[in-house]
Amino acid sequence: MQEASFPKPSCPDDKSVTAAQTYIKRLSEAIHQAESLQLKKKAKGKQSAFDPRKPKRLWFYVATEFPAWQQKYIDALQESYDEVHKKDKLH
Average pLDDT along the chain, 91 residues, taken 10 residues at a time: 74 77 91 90 83 84 91 94 77 60
Is 27 part of a structural domain of the chain?
A: yes
Is 10 part of a structural domain of the chain?
A: no
| Whole-number Å distance between alpha carbons of 6 and 24 | 10
Q: What integer pLDDT is reported at residue 67 of this predicted model?
A: 94
Torsion angle, alpha carbons of 76, 80, 82, 85, to 10: -160
Burial of 57 (0-12, 13-18, 19+ CB in 10 A): exposed
Is 81 part of a structural domain of the chain?
A: yes
Is 5 part of a structural domain of the chain?
A: no
Is 3 part of a structural domain of the chain?
A: no
Domain count for the chain: 1
Q: What integer pLDDT is reported at residue 90 of this predicted model?
A: 64
**Which residue range is the domain that position 75 belongs to?**
15-54+61-90
Is 8 part of a structural domain of the chain?
A: no
Q: What integer pLDDT is reported at residue 57 of this predicted model?
A: 83
